[in-house]
Amino acid sequence: MKTNELPKYFKNIDDELWFEEVEVEKKDLKISYKVNKCFSYAKSPYQEVALIDTNAFGPCLVLDGVMQTTSADGFIYNEMITHIPVLTHKNPKNVLVIGGGDCGAVRELAKYEELETIDMVELDELVTEECIKFLPEISGGPSFDKRINFKFGDGVEYVKETDIKYDIVMVDSPDPEGPAKDLFGEEFYKNVKRTLKTDGVMVCQSESPMIHRNIIENTRKILKNNFKIVKTYIAFVPTYPGGIWSFTMASDVYDPSDMDVNRLPLETRYLTKKIVKSCFDLPNFISDLK
Amino acid sequence: MKTNELPKYFKNIDDELWFEEVEVEKKDLKISYKVNKCFSYAKSPYQEVALIDTNAFGPCLVLDGVMQTTSADGFIYNEMITHIPVLTHKNPKNVLVIGGGDCGAVRELAKYEELETIDMVELDELVTEECIKFLPEISGGPSFDKRINFKFGDGVEYVKETDIKYDIVMVDSPDPEGPAKDLFGEEFYKNVKRTLKTDGVMVCQSESPMIHRNIIENTRKILKNNFKIVKTYIAFVPTYPGGIWSFTMASDVYDPSDMDVNRLPLETRYLTKKIVKSCFDLPNFISDLK
């Protein structure tokens, strides 16, 4: 349903429009962005989807009042969640992306010629439609590599039911609130493992080591119960509260310390051959995490 | 002058007290912190000095409405600005800190037994007094290592006039607004060089590579005009807008790639022997900077 109203988290302050994001867990921190324009705002069956143009970070995707990705820094998140598992796997052919409706992750994956199939299971088709229209810096716009298959539906159900076995599964989820809550539970990760080949690699975004330490520890605990090798890595994600973001990857076979950095595609804006290794060198206060 | 009023950047929202920080340059981004308590608020001859307790990051120092350091993440900034130049210099004996009124940098320096003299020239004695009282997590509280000498006064004048020659000069400045503006100009850096021994090392905080790219480029240009070796490194500083922070070091003799990482003191919370090296591995979009 398209709507003409403005999102309730927009505020008019001294004749300027501002988008105010409240940190979800403790509600004691807000980031506010001056808004130049609201490209689109609509309610899908799952959430409120807004595409807005901010002065500081350009066009952005906002879901239920939470900043998801911006034109200015979305490339960092997408490069980090994509290249680390692909380089860690020695010979990947097919990849499943769960979530990732902004299409930034599948666009990064398409940089690898060796991949034959890239499946994306996004719950909310409206997110993808709007990002294709209003966020081409992330989505790449309306034309997609032929290896990419959109399968709109529930990722939790998909990994329970599919017969396909993947080399890599990437869990590109929003915060564990609302429709994404199940993407942080043990049953889901057991099914992710079921969907992987025996030498498969999985990765998930595991939230901020500054603010959501309990989420990282819980995710790591679940993954350690199910995989032999579990490694957390970090990157700067300026527009997420706390600034540092963590990702956790898991496999029974492949260790990221053995990755061949020379397979990194040339066209990256954040990652270098050095950083694909050094992102695993955690500061002491993060390596303390269980 | 002590005052009983609350800072004007405090806002009462739904019976909660919030501190709202506006990003200084473009004023299009705000970070807001829920405030538990205002420990102290006073106007010095130079600026408004507030010590506040935030829910998200604990006790914090705020100068003229700009967050300077928090108990939760101040250690990252202080470790980064201190250990990199000290490890880069082969045999440092005396260090000058310009600014650094929260005492976090001198406290880090005191971890090195080989240092004989640590001079700190802070403009605003009130900042130091209040941080000693209300920010012991950063300042270390009222007792200081005997090698630390407080010289309250103008750092710009100090480097113009002093006869002392230092092994290391650290410029631990606030944003280039108000009293700190001169700390970003070429005349100041020429005098910093005058104050260094011929094999001296200097470092400065050079702002955010996301938001203040012009400041980093300008700082690097000035330093390259005056030093043979100029290297920028980065760290996560969650409570600064943009999340990534940069530091730039310069020397005519010492290159950080030759540093002896084994001299790193044991008691660090952010830095590891790997990160003192990998902090110079810049993402592509930062190494693009001139």
DSSP readout, chain B? -B-SSPPTTEEEETTEEEEEEE-TTT--EEEEEEEEEEEEEEE-SS-EEEEEEETTTEEEEEETTEEEEETTTHHHHHHHHHHHHHHHSSS--EEEEEE-TTSHHHHHHTT-TT--EEEEE-S-HHHHHHHHHH-HHHH--S---TTEEE--S-HHHHHHH----EEEEEEE---SSGGGGGGGSHHHHHHHHHHEEEEEEEEEE---TTT-HHHHHHHHHHHHHH-SEEEEEEEE-TTSTTSEEEEEEEESS--GGG--GGGS-S--SS--TTHHHHTT---HHHHT--
pLDDT per residue of chain A (290 residues) written in tens, 0 to 9: 555 677 888 888 888 899 998 876 778 888 899 999 999 999 999 999 999 999 999 999 999 988 899 999 899 999 999 999 999 999 999 999 999 999 999 999 999 999 999 999 999 999 999 999 999 999 999 999 999 999 999 999 999 999 999 999 999 987 777 767 777 789 999 999 999 999 999 999 998 888 788 889 999 999 999 999 999 999 988 777 677 899 999 999 999 999 999 999 988 999 999 999 999 999 998 887 77
Contacts of A53 in chain B (CB under 8 A): none
* A247 vs B173: which has the higher pLDDT: A247
Tell me whether residue B178 is in a domain. yes
Contacts of B267 in chain A (CB under 8 A): none
A79 touches chain B (CB under 8 A): no
Q: Is residue B1's pLDDT more than 60? A: no
Q: Do A28 and B23 touch (CB under 8 A)?
A: no
B243 & B100 share domain: yes
Q: Do A284 and B269 touch (CB under 8 A)?
A: yes
Structure token pair of residue A208: 């901020």
A80 & A53 share domain: no
pLDDT for A3 equals 56
Least trusted range by pLDDT, from A207-211, B119-123, B154-158, B162-166? A207-211
B211-231 pLDDT per residue, tens: 788 889 999 999 999 999 999
What 3-state DSSP class applies to A158?
helix
Tell me whether residue A3 is in a domain. no
Q: Do B271 and A281 touch (CB under 8 A)?
A: no
Structure token pair of residue A131: 């990002």
Q: Determine the residue type at A176.
A: P
Question: Can B252 be counted among the known catalytic residues?
Answer: no
Residue A245 phi, psi (nearest 5): -125, 150
pLDDT for B2 equals 58
A125 & A161 share domain: yes
A215 & A187 share domain: yes
State the catalytic residue, choosing from A172, A252, A260, A281. A172
Best mutation site among A16, A30, A80, A212 for testing chain B: the one with the most B CBs within 10 Å? A30
| Cβ proximity of A221 and A228 under 8 Å | no
CATH number, domain of A15, equals 2.30.140.10
Interface of A with B in 166-185 (CB under 8 A): none
Strand partners, A16: A13
Tell me whether residue A1 is in a domain. no
B73-123 pLDDT per residue, tens: 899 999 999 999 999 999 999 999 999 999 999 999 999 999 999 999 999
On whether A48 is known to bind a ligand per the annotation, the reply is no
Tokens 């709202």 sit on residue: B20
B75 → chain A, closest CA residue: A285
Among A241, A244, A285, select the one facing B269 at the smallest CB separation. A285
A98 & A230 share domain: yes
Host domain of residue B159: 74-287
Confidence category of residue B24, pLDDT binned at 50, 70, 90: low
Tell me whether residue B1 is in a domain. no
pLDDT for A49 equals 95
Confidence category of residue B241, pLDDT binned at 50, 70, 90: low
A31 touches chain B (CB under 8 A): yes
CA–CA min distance A28, chain B (Å): 5
Out of B70, B89, B110, a domain closes at: B70
On whether A119 is known to bind a ligand per the annotation, the reply is no
B31 & B103 share domain: no
Q: Do A30 and B30 touch (CB under 8 A)?
A: yes
Out of B55, B70, B85, a domain closes at: B70
Tokens 């990194």 sit on residue: A264
B13 touches chain A (CB under 8 A): no
A147 & A264 share domain: yes
Question: Measured between alpha carbons, how far is B281 from A280 in angstroms, rounded to an integer?
Answer: 13
Q: What is the DSSP letter of A163?
A: -
Contacts of B56 in chain A (CB under 8 A): 23, 26, 28-29, 211
State the catalytic residue, choosing from B64, B119, B124, B172. B172
DSSP symbols for A164-231: --EEEEEEE---SSGGGGGGGSHHHHHHHHHHEEEEEEEEEE---TTT-HHHHHHHHHHHHHH-SEEE
A135 & A112 share domain: yes
Tell me whether residue B177 is in a domain. yes
B162 & B141 share domain: yes
Tell me whether residue B237 is in a domain. yes
A79 → chain B, closest CA residue: B283
pLDDT for A12 equals 84
Q: Determine the residue type at B57.
A: F
pLDDT for A238 equals 78
CATH number, domain of B212, equals 3.40.50.150
Give this complex's ipTM.
0.86
Q: Is residue B187's pLDDT more than 70? A: yes
On whether A102 is known to bind a ligand per the annotation, the reply is yes
B266 touches chain A (CB under 8 A): no
Q: Which residues of B are annotated as a binding site for S-methyl-5'-thioadenosine?
A: 47, 122, 154-155, 179
Out of B54, B70, B86, a domain closes at: B70
Least trusted range by pLDDT, from B79-88, B93-102, B132-141, B239-248? B239-248
Q: Is residue B205's pLDDT more than 90? A: yes
B25 & B151 share domain: no
On whether A258 is known to bind a ligand per the annotation, the reply is no
pLDDT for A2 equals 58
pLDDT for A163 equals 97
Among A56, A241, A269, select the one facing B285 at the smallest CB separation. A269
Number of domains within chain B? 2
Tell me whether residue B4 is in a domain. no
What is the b/e burial string over A91-110, where b = at least 16 CB atoms within 10 angstroms of the residue's CB? Answer: ebebbbbbbbbbbbbbbbbb
B62 & B81 share domain: no
B222 & B84 share domain: yes
A37 touches chain B (CB under 8 A): no
Tell me whether residue A149 is in a domain. yes
Contacts of B272 in chain A (CB under 8 A): 281-284, 287
